[in-house]
Amino acid sequence: MAKTLNLDIQESAEELKALLKQQTNAQRKERVHALYLLKSNQVTTLEELSKLLVRDTSTIYRWFQKYKQEGLDGLLKLYEPAGRPITIPQEALDKLRLKLQEPEAFKNYGEIQIWLKEECGVEVDYHVVYRAVRYKFKAKLKSSKSSRKKK
């Protein structure tokens, strides 16, 4: 028979339910959901919770250990890998952000690459420019497509 979980959850079930609705990140939502299910007595054992959330018991146990040590803020803090820093200086990125807001400022990423070299003195690869524009600024270059003339 499985042992019941003895976790002292400071927040009320209503607070956890409201927090659950606020979460936009799936990982955070899942962790708050685990606390909510336990606090509202919908589950009592780690195995039940594991089956319900389709997570290994060791993962859920690790979440609860983090909650015991650091509280709710610690539980909701996710690991973010450092990654490689962007090679375009912040000043150049600020100028580029403003330039991208102009309608039809650039037709392609090669033009941005040339503009960065001429205006900001920054020489970067095409893929660095592409990633900055697409993923950092979440922008798309809008170019007019040539249409064929009907014969």
pLDDT, residue 148, reads 56
Question: Where among 31, 54, 76 does a domain terminate?
Answer: 76
Is 3 a member of any domain?
Answer: no
- Please give the chain's pLDDT, 151 residues, in tens: 467 777 888 999 999 999 999 999 999 999 999 999 999 999 989 999 999 999 999 999 999 999 999 999 999 998 877 777 778 899 999 999 999 888 878 889 999 999 999 999 999 999 999 988 998 888 888 655 555 555 5
pLDDT, residue 146, reads 56
User: Do 33 and 66 fall within a single domain?
Assistant: yes
pTM: predicted TM-score of the whole model, two decimal places? 0.57
Euclidean distance between CA atoms 124 and 113, whole angstroms: 7
Is 147 a member of any domain?
Answer: no
pLDDT, residue 93, reads 92
Q: Specify the DSSP class assigned to residue 73.
A: H
User: Do 17 and 72 fall within a single domain?
Assistant: yes
User: Do 63 and 99 fall within a single domain?
Assistant: no
Domain assignment of residue 106, given as a range: 90-136
Q: Are the C-beta atoms of residues 28 and 68 closer than 8 Å to each other?
A: no
Question: Where among 76, 110, 126 does a domain terminate?
Answer: 76
Is 83 a member of any domain?
Answer: no
The secondary structure of 86-131 as a DSSP string is: PSS-HHHHHHHHHHHHSTT--SSHHHHHHHIIIII-----HHHHHH
Domain count, the chain: 2
pLDDT, residue 103, reads 80
The residues near 41 (Cβ < 8 Å, ≥ 6 apart) are: none
Question: Where among 76, 99, 122 does a domain terminate?
Answer: 76
pLDDT, residue 21, reads 94
Is 149 a member of any domain?
Answer: no
The H or E element containing residue 53 is helix 46-53
User: Do 95 and 117 fall within a single domain?
Assistant: yes
